[in-house]
Copies of this chain bind each other. A is one copy, B any other.
Amino acid sequence: MVKKTREESLATRESLLAAALQVFRERGVAHTRLSDVAERAGVTRGAIYWHFKDKAELFQAVCARGTLPVEALLAEASQSAQRDPLATVRQLALMALAQLAQHPDTQAMFDVIFHKCEFTEELAPVVAKNDADRAACLSQVQSLFEQAVACGQLPPTTDTFLATQGMHAYMVGLMHEWVLNPRSYDLAACAEPLLDCYLSGLAIRPPVCRPAAG
């Protein structure tokens, strides 16, 4: 009872990813023993070393699967009509928060990313991908803010770079803190008012500073 069919092998891989996400959340990535992951998945360490090179590659695969939905949102939004750029940003943020509020796996994902993981050089590929994703997201949002200024939705004095930094920080902070206490408030219900609060501030009194060179 050793060798499985191709289909069963993929199932094993999936259960390994699911088990890894759970154990990472419970023990932290660095403190997780691959034997724990294997046990949780109902296999041995041999299976892990067959599917992945080491823990870093396993973590990378877990992250890749977890960030897929959010990236899909961004890609979808980039193709939508840009008649109302601010609404696009709003929708983007709402979808992201809804995804977090509704899917336990996404919550586990961000819990690990934010609180159960050390971004050191051994996880360099994950860090690089995170940086690239963030840069792409920031760039896309800033572009939308620039269009909003052009449309007259935001004041001409708006520093779109800072506005983007603030928006991104707000989203990161909301997710960072909410996953610590998902029961502290109903994120799905409160996402709209929370977002509209910041976006209203943006329209009324946008940031006007200059980014530093460097």
Contact = CB atoms under 8 A, between A and B. Distances in A.
Interface stretch (A34-42, A82-90, A177-185): A177-185
Contacts of A193: 159, 162, 206-209
A104 interface: no
A98 interface: no
Contact of A172 (B117, B159, B176, B189): B176
Contacts of A176: 169, 172-173, 176
A64 interface: no
The residue in A163, A169, A199 that gathers the most chain B C-beta atoms within 10 A of its C-beta is A169
Given A162-B194, A200-B204, A177 B168 contact: yes
- Interface of chain A: mostly helix, strand, loop or mixed: helix
A171 interface: yes
Interface of A: 26-31, 115-120, 122, 159, 161-163, 165-166, 168-174, 176-178, 183-186, 189-190, 192-194, 196-202, 204-212, 214
A54 B200 CA distance: 49
Most B Cβ at <10 Å: residue of A27, A171, A176, A194: A194
Contact of A201 (B28, B172, B199): B199
Contacts of A116: 118-120
27 contacts: A28-B118, A30-B30, A31-B120, A115-B118, A115-B119, A116-B118, A116-B119, A162-B190, A162-B193, A162-B194, A165-B184, A166-B194, A168-B177, A169-B194, A170-B198, A172-B177, A173-B174, A183-B212, A183-B214, A184-B211, A185-B209, A189-B212, A193-B206, A193-B208, A197-B198, A197-B202, A198-B198
Question: Most chain-B Cβ atoms within 10 A of its Cβ — which of A115, A171, A212?
Answer: A212
Contact of A117 (B27, B118, B168, B197): B118
B190 A209 contact: yes
Contacts of A212: 183-186, 189
A176 to B, nearest CB: 6
B186 A197 contact: no
